[in-house]
Structure 1
């Protein structure tokens, strides 16, 4: 599926294009969060027998493990007087509220109410389906009947012994629309991350954009050009002309992933050496203006070199801190500047606009507006 965008985008509004869903059919910071999606709740090592709490899509959730090691997620709010269940305790696999002692099993049903002989049938707390695919624990916050674990994005390289990852995480003040747009916008690399990730040649290289269902894919090729510092140092290719191939994907509302190949042809015909990097950006909206964000830089070479680990971690963390700062500054301006502005969009913004249209349409669909009604409203 291909979309054609003019240099400056200006579409007529229809009745659903208000501050709830974003202007002109494109999602923005005010668009309702997509709930029918698998998001990451935590890294595997973060969830234990010590109950923790996090907010996902505006809902507080308590996370813990059973004695058998299975992760459990429940609403962090006792149905009696809203006491945070994460402030309670575990007795075996039973979650005990710290206010009145109500006891809940892993299905969320109250199995004991100390102040009453019989437990009312409506005494239960909402649970959320979780699936652990180490090192990630995924959670479904939407319609329980729509949860399908087959839709969880593939991240096999994060656990494969043939790959090695360094990773980090942030909690910061931005909207996930802008986060996705930032990751799809490769023209900012040489300016926000000079020397580390992007080069001017890479920013000017030709890209191909395509859409497969609700996935936006960018293919980019840059030949006979030295790699940036983040790749040059671990590969030993500083200043060496190489061929770079990258595929960046808006995979889902929860994930962006990039697959990079660096081919060193300097060894002579038939002796090319290929280095691969997979860059995973995984984030879960806390609210419309705050995000839980995990990143992984994964490689398929030099797996036991701690110096390479350190370089990739420092370089990646620096670049992603720069992204976090930029996105927090942008949202602060958008929210505080009272004079309206319709941001300009140019040809390289096409991938981000495709993503914003997908998220807009998903939000509209979750709100219950039928597609035929949408088409009539756009006429």
Structure 2
């Protein structure tokens, strides 16, 4: 990313004064919505590394049909899923060695997109190529860059190293959702909905009333909460066996990039039973890649730093996380249905607790605007 927003001091977003201050008019055009052009100069998740193999896989990413596969050495390849001859979907072809062969006229393409053989001609035209995309594996994820190849710096791939750390137990799942990635980000940043949409998993009344601080760090939004002497939420308390206790709880939620949201939670039990730990840490990872402006691919991971591989904890966290995220999916799809089909326009009201989401939406708006200004300037 080339646009950098200045860091802002943390703001306490609690109290009536802040609520009324948040009602001051603002320009709705300065915040990303589902209609904002997609941000392409960003590393997105193309899929799980385990689902990309020697059978071509078709997936639409940022409005572009892509075919994914691996070479014989295991390197991931991503290219446009459209033969330049008669637009046959290359994922319907086959692999022979490292070449992807079109199933319509047998044109053969190398992993770099260059056509190496065309059966109908004695000499293959050197100008026949397919667009390829920078793609690489990081732990269980395969990341892709759909923007300008010259800007595809692998150092910009966000850190999710705990997903490959054997000291952490991780469960995961995925959804295809009829919503936009802007709304998905705002949903995850908006922690005030937890007690109401997710009362049986992550939400507690104390959490809804707790103070939070929000700040921007370059192009990221960071939200921090601290709860003292409170009941743990079920999703953390049940697997740790501490639902009967009062604990301290800290959380940090972070808008990392248009492709990633992470949350770090720590539960502190000041009077552990026996040899039980005092601290329990959870890393929650949300990856989403726009399929279009109103549909996304979504992968989630719930990681813990204790008892990796415990089948009972794995099952509980899978079920609890799936319940919470399916509630988000349902709510966001309902909202998108209203936005797309209600002919009466509306500018939604915003209140103080909405400010972190507005921070993220403003960053996404500016990144999109900058990117499309740069593209227009190159024409």
The two structures share one fold, judged by TM-score above 0.5: yes
Residue from 283, 290, 293 that aligns with 1:288: 293
2:184 to 179, 184, 207: 179
Q: 2:132 aligns with which of 127, 130, 141?
A: 127
Instruction: Provide the TM-score with structure 1 as the length reference.
Output: 0.92
TM normalised by structure 2 equals: 0.92
Q: Does residue 11 of structure 1 match 2:26?
A: yes
Partner of 2:90: 85
Task: Give 1:204 deviation, angstroms.
Answer: 1.0
- Matching residue of 1:114: 119
- State the Cα distance separating 1:258 from its structure 2 match: 0.2
Q: 1:167 maps to what in 2?
A: 172
Q: How far 1:272 moved relative to its partner?
A: 7.0
Give the one of 287, 302, 318 matched to 2:307.
302
1:148 correspondence with 2:153: yes
From 320, 329, 336, the counterpart of 1:331? 336
Residue 74 of structure 1 corresponds to 79
Match of 1:373 in 2: none
1:184-212 deviation per Cα after TM superposition (whole angstroms, max 9, x unaligned): 00000000001210111111100011111
How many Å separate the matches in 1 of 2:156 and 2:277?
36
Per-residue deviation, 1:337? 0.3
Using the alignment, how far apart are the partners of 1:276 and 1:354 within structure 2? 27
Q: Equivalences for 1:319-358 in 2 at 5 Å?
A: 319-358=324-363
Secondary structure of 2:285's counterpart equals strand
Structure 1 residue 36 corresponds to structure 2 residue 41: yes
How far residue 318 of structure 1 moved from its aligned partner, in angstroms, is 0.4
Rounded Cα–Cα distance in structure 2 between residues aligned with 1:234 and 1:301? 10
Distance 1:183 1:144 in 2: 30
Equivalent positions of 1:117-266 (< 5 A) are 117-266=122-271
Contact 2:139 2:161 in 1 (8 A): no
User: Which range is displaced more, 320-329 or 272-281?
Assistant: 272-281
Q: Helix, strand or coil for the counterpart of 1:50?
A: coil
User: 1:33 and 1:146 mapped to 2: Cα distance?
Assistant: 16
Q: Secondary structure at the match of 1:128?
A: coil
Structure 2: gaps of 5 or more residues = 1-6, 12-17
Q: What is the CA distance between 1:10 and its match in structure 2?
A: 2.6
Structure 2 match to 1:16: none
CA contact (8 A) 1:9 1:344 kept: no
- CA drift at 1:303: 1.5
Q: Deviations over 1:3-29 (max 9, x none)?
A: 8894225335xxxxxxxxxx3300001
Return structure 1 stretches of 4+ with deviation > 3 angstroms: 3-6
Q: What is the match of residue 4 of structure 2?
A: none
Measured in 2, the distance between the counterparts of 1:296 and 1:183 equals: 14
Is the Cα contact below 8 Å between 1:43 and 1:134 reproduced in 2? no
2: CA distance between counterparts of 1:9 and 1:341?
17
Distance 2:119 2:100 in 1: 14
Question: 1:315: Cα distance to partner?
Answer: 0.1
Alpha-carbon contact 2:220-2:255 (below 8 Å) kept: yes
Residue of structure 2 equivalent to 1:375: none
Relative to structure 1, the CA distance from residue 369 to residue 49 in structure 2 (aligned partners, 3 Å threshold; closer, same or farther) is closer
Aligned-residue Cα RMSD (Å) equals 1.5
User: How many angstroms does 1:44 deviate by?
Assistant: 1.1
